[in-house]
Amino acid sequence: GAGVSQTPSNKVTEKGKYVELRCDPISGHTALYWYRQSLGQGPEFLIYFQGTGAADDSGLPNDRFFAVRPEGSVSTLKIQRTERGDSAVYLCASSSSGTSTDTQYFGPGTRLTVL
């Protein structure tokens, strides 16, 4: 079956621009996570959705970052006024129920480059 997909795979933008990154989780998965992986680092937790609601957004670095999941399936990570330090691979993961021992299935990521 289809895994987690993320679009675009690569995004190049200029400093100050707005970007949207999309995640399509595995069908039926209620839990969805966003992570950011900077060069040479491991994935860093950003936000966790259970259904349509953001159950934990404590990892979002500042108010330029926002994520939505309006119908409990597809999620969009939105970054306003991008900065060069936002350059990273943004990973999305989903799990079946959000029980924290559920396996998280990761997408291939979106590589964001801010010039």
Q: Which residues of the chain form contacts with other proteins (CB under 8 A)?
A: 4, 31, 33, 35, 40-45, 48, 55-56, 58-59, 91, 93, 98, 100-101, 103-109
If the CB atoms of residues 16 and 100 are measured against other proteins, the closer one turns out to be: 100
Q: How many CA atoms lie within 13 A of 15 on its CB side?
A: 4
CA distance 66 to 19: 11
Which residues does residue 99 pair with via DSSP β-bridges, in sequence order? none
If the CB atoms of residues 30 and 76 are measured against other proteins, the closer one turns out to be: 30
Smallest distance from the beta carbon of 4 to other proteins, in angstroms?
Answer: 7
The answer to whether the beta carbons of residues 26 and 1 sit under 8 Å apart is yes
If the CB atoms of residues 9 and 16 are measured against other proteins, the closer one turns out to be: 9
DSSP 8-state code for residue 86 = G
Smallest distance from the beta carbon of 15 to other proteins, in angstroms?
Answer: 26
